[in-house]
Amino acid sequence: MRRNSPPAVACWFLDSVVPVRYRDALLGDLIEEYTLRAESTSPLTASRWFWSQACRSVASVFWSSLRSGDWLISMSIAMCVYIAMGMLKFAADVTISKLLAPEQTTYVVLAPVVFLTTTAIGGWVASRIRRGATIFLALIVMITVAVLIDMRVCAIPVPWWYQFGFLTLGPLAVLMAPVIVGAFVPGDAQPAK
């Protein structure tokens, strides 16, 4: 991290949730004030201030989106992407079962790979359509996995950490996929909305 550069994770967090209409202005204001504060106090104090602003701003922005109905659009996109992800996963499962005829152990190994791949693709697609949709998609994935774990849908006996991996890595794959793709593919960092 460069000296006097704001926390990258906080920047990415804001970049993901703030509406495109005032994303640049809001982040620019924070970066500008962060630099001034880092020079007048210390980078650590300025970083703490930046994080506090980021967390509190997200609450305001989220509440404002709820009032304006923006969340409905994001939620609808997330639902559509989730359905598409479900179909993709189903197609992958069928292909694997036909081609490999997996036994239980093979399935236990392949299931997380298929799951994480589809969730990552879903996260990337959602972020390309609308950034706010990524957060909703991550929430949908987390809730669905939690419900499936609670209902004990999986017939194969698996350890708790295996299920916990689905619960945590699934939403994380949704959120991180756009960032990772953006870092490796030039011109992918700034989606349309």
End-to-end CA distance of the chain: 27
Specify the residue for token string 């404002």: 64
Assess 33 for contact with another protein (CB under 8 A).
yes
Q: In degrees, to the nearest 5, what angle opens at C-alpha 137 toward C-alphas 135 and 142?
A: 95
Binding range to another protein, per CB under 8 A, among 55-63, 138-146, 147-155, 164-172? 55-63
Q: Residue 6: left (phi > 0), alpha (psi -120 to 50), or beta? A: beta
Given candidates 27, 129, 140, 145, which one binds another protein under the rule CB under 8 A?
27
Assess 22 for contact with another protein (CB under 8 A).
yes
Of 13 and 136, CB closest to another protein: 13
Token pair for 182:
């953006």
Gap between the Cα atoms of 178 and 55, Å rounded: 21
Given candidates 2, 44, 60, 186, which one binds another protein under the rule CB under 8 A?
60
Assess 20 for contact with another protein (CB under 8 A).
no
Q: For binding to another protein (CB under 8 A), which residues are involved?
A: 6, 18, 21-22, 24-33, 35, 53, 56-61, 63-64
